[in-house]
Amino acid sequence: MMKTSNFIKSILFAGTVLVSCTNNFEEINSNPNAPEQVSANLLTSTVTSEITRTLTQEGYSDGNTITQLMAKNNFPGFSQFDWGDQGMWNFFYSYLPEINDILEISRAEGTQNSTYEGIALTLRALSFANLTDLYGHVPYTEAMAGKTEGIFTPVYDDQETVYNGVLQDLADADAALAKGQAIAGSTGDVIYNGDASKWRKLANALRLRYLLRISKQRDVSSEMQAIVSAGNYINDNSDNAVLVYSGTSNTDSWPQSTGRIGGFDEKSLCTTLLGYFEEFNDPRLDIWFDRNSEGEWVGIPIGLNQDNARAYDDEFSPSRLDVELFYFSSTAAEAFIMKNSEVQFILAEAAERGFIFGSAEDYYNNGIRASLDYWGVPSDDIEAYLVQPAVQYNGSLELLLTQKTIALWNVDYQGWMDYRRTGIPALENGQDDLNGGRYPVRFLYPSSEQTLNGDNYKAAVEAMGGEGDNINTPGWWETGTRY
């Protein structure tokens, strides 16, 4: 499992990568008898594959749980909010040096390529945005300063500083990718195969995501409108940033298809999602889940402890995930960074709040169309779905964000980010909650940070609220007052 591999990486990188995030990997490890420079295409292959697969695996394993789309009938501690180190810190900080290597290669004389530069900037922005969204204050300005400046205990920067850098990286990526420079030979890019125009659309779609995220703190209307007016963002399912598994090996297969059926069967339909699906008469229910042995749709509540979850499972037999799609096939399910459905719902909310021009209803309908189409719902059934009274747009952010949350199925933790920003859709703790009735808003720092970077760790915890390193301290973009 990815979290296990991240733990191993944390040991390997503890003194160097995790804290110092040292760049210039090829210079440090130079061998006079071997080629000194790692090629950009090999690095790109590793980074694009690992990031895309891991984000989707996280969405499947925990992102869907915290937004109450799925629940576990075995080992349900995560949904009780019994949290330790979730592993994402080590993952991103172990791959950021490789992203930095791609960036340096793309800017070096003899290997200069603006498309690789744009890809690296986009991935760096995505990585740091995830880090600060999941943890709060994180090393940013000094994160890569181990080799160049000898800084091996980097300071933690506040979220506003990190977001300023993230948005600048994405703007710079847009400019680099606009040049459309071709990549000769194998690109190593498992997402868009080096297509600069597609990466440009992803970079700008991410800008829309992150601008909306900070919109409680900052007036983002002019920046969002400029992106929409320029038109270079994901606006069709053919633009989706997805990884299609080849099925040729375990690494190149949908992760659940390589595990044991017992582990797969531990996840079930959550009663919260079943309620949405019944209200909307939603065809995705039959695509994502199987009826139980009695031919019924049954959910399991979130946040039951081990004994209660097993007892509930034995008595009611909640619906499991669709076994043909999510277990028996190694290629049918895909991994993804971002899809058109999310972008359309971002624009719908932005239009509803008056940040951009356009019809919130049209964007909302397009978001639903994009999601249902992605999951194979026929077009006639999509249009019939949209005219149902429970689905028709009425200006309600509750309806809009509920539909968006459903569409964010398997998309890492994006639904949780929306909940933290808006409180929509309303989510309640389960009966065996271990967090005092509070819904968590961040991950804990890994324990290694207390040992390896203790002073800066303590300063960050104090700066975020002074209540200790806990899962209930909200971040900068959550506490704005603009709406």
Q: Where are the domains of the chain?
A: 2-28+39-244+334-339+411-463, 255-328
In this predicted structure, what is the pLDDT of residue 23?
41
In this predicted structure, what is the pLDDT of residue 214?
98
Nearest 5 degrees, angle CA 475-CA 81-CA 317? Answer: 135
Q: Check pLDDT > 70 for residue 104.
A: yes
Give 47's contacts (C-beta < 8 A, 6+ positions apart).
95, 98, 99, 102, 123
Is residue 204 very low, low, confident or very high in pLDDT (cuts 50, 70, 90)?
very high
Q: What pLDDT, in 10s, does the model give residues 421-446?
A: 999 999 999 999 999 999 999 999 99
* Paired residues of 145 in beta bridges: none
Is residue 150 very low, low, confident or very high in pLDDT (cuts 50, 70, 90)?
confident
| Cis amide bond preceding 446, omega within 30 | no
d(CA 267, CA 71): 6
In this predicted structure, what is the pLDDT of residue 468?
86
Q: Check pLDDT > 90 for residue 35.
A: no
d(CA 12, CA 155): 22
72, 46, 54: which is closest to 3 by C-alpha?
54
d(CA 59, CA 311): 26
In this predicted structure, what is the pLDDT of residue 8?
37
Is residue 85 very low, low, confident or very high in pLDDT (cuts 50, 70, 90)?
confident
d(CA 333, CA 344): 22
d(CA 369, CA 365): 6
* Tokens linked to 173: 């990526």
From the number of C-beta atoms within 10 Å of its C-beta (0-12, 13-18, 19+), residue 122 rates as buried
In this predicted structure, what is the pLDDT of residue 37?
61
Beta strands 241-243 and 335-338 are antiparallel
- The CATH number of the structural domain formed by 2-28+39-244+334-339+411-463 is 1.25.40.390
441, 473 Cβ separation under 8 angstroms: yes
* Paired residues of 270 in beta bridges: 300
Please tell me whether residue 300 adopts helix, strand or coil conformation: strand
In this predicted structure, what is the pLDDT of residue 467?
79
Within 10 Å of residue 231's Cβ, how many Cβ atoms? 9
289, 297 Cβ separation under 8 angstroms: yes
In this predicted structure, what is the pLDDT of residue 260?
94
Q: What pLDDT, in 10s, does the model give residues 273-289?
A: 999 999 999 999 999 99
- Residue in the structure block whose two tokens are 């720092």: 445
- DSSP 8-state assignment for residue 154: P
* Paired residues of 72 in beta bridges: 267
Q: What is the gyration radius of the CA atoms in the chain, in angstroms?
A: 22
In this predicted structure, what is the pLDDT of residue 31?
40
253, 210, 271, 234: which is closest to 414 by C-alpha?
210
In this predicted structure, what is the pLDDT of residue 38?
76
Q: What pLDDT, in 10s, does the model give residues 151-198?
A: 889 999 999 999 999 999 999 999 999 999 999 999 999 999 999 999
In this predicted structure, what is the pLDDT of residue 382?
98
Q: Check pLDDT > 50 for residue 2.
A: no
